[in-house]
Structure 1
């Protein structure tokens, strides 16, 4: 169980009541949880998955130390027919699943993982090469973290964008949105539209608290 808040006395009270009812151990301030590292400073909190990335790179066995500046080349339109089918797609599926979880702290790869995850049923050599490029990008950006400041405004900022019939297989569009509360990124999502859309939506707005 994780207890959060800024009232230390009440937190101590809650933990004491829980100990009266359950067998539990106080592990102290949160440092590591389900592959997510948390560090606290006087300015705020950082969350990252550096060790998780290191373990993922070791499992991927890239065989070189190259890095790249972007997760995917510009204007890439992957299709299911590109490349030769992988004789064993197990590693591809495992790496994609791991990257989906990594997007918890790395929203910069959300779009690329969304694309690659569409081919988990029948991945090819081309899909796998693009997957390795994402891993090389993560090797370059392994120390990046999300920051949540202790003091921040309650200004809500929302950003969204969409492509226009960008998937060459079904001509459907992709949309995404990011929501910031002050300086903290709280919510983000990428999804494919369920129908073919003929309009592109780009939105950037600021919502002030009532």
Structure 2
């Protein structure tokens, strides 16, 4: 489902980072670990098509995304990739349900109210459906971020440091939730983090990056 080959990225200041090759299938999961400054977020942005790779190849759903132009990449991302960023991004003037409907429309989909309600119920935040995001707790906003990433049934789900600011209980709660929903949706799940607490949750599905 996703495969990288000889992937490299050159930063604006001129330094180049090379990433190890990896491959995962639909429904599989991968934890990418490494210290700050090792290129974890850069790799996630490459996989999500938010940054262009300098060299190498990223294949997602049999499509080499390095060949796509900007508009084509935006469309492909909307159809195939869901991203959970470290900090939630919502339209504050829209309700929770309206944010999800907007995400569907931005991905070229029709509004699917049953899909919206299914995810909000699954994530335990259905009571906030008609409320503004700023009325939610930080943990609830994080769950809404998960719903936003999943709303268009992506083949690939990317998460950037989803447990960085959480205590043990809430960290494992979030990871179990991501794994459960990704399995239910048959989405490949890739998490990038420096949080070594998660090793036991992924065991043989770990890629470790070294400092640049």
TM-score, length of structure 1 as denominator length = 0.21
Structure with greater contact order relative to length (CA < 8 Å, sep ≥ 6): 2
Structure with more helix by fraction: 2
* TM-score, structure 2 as length reference: 0.21
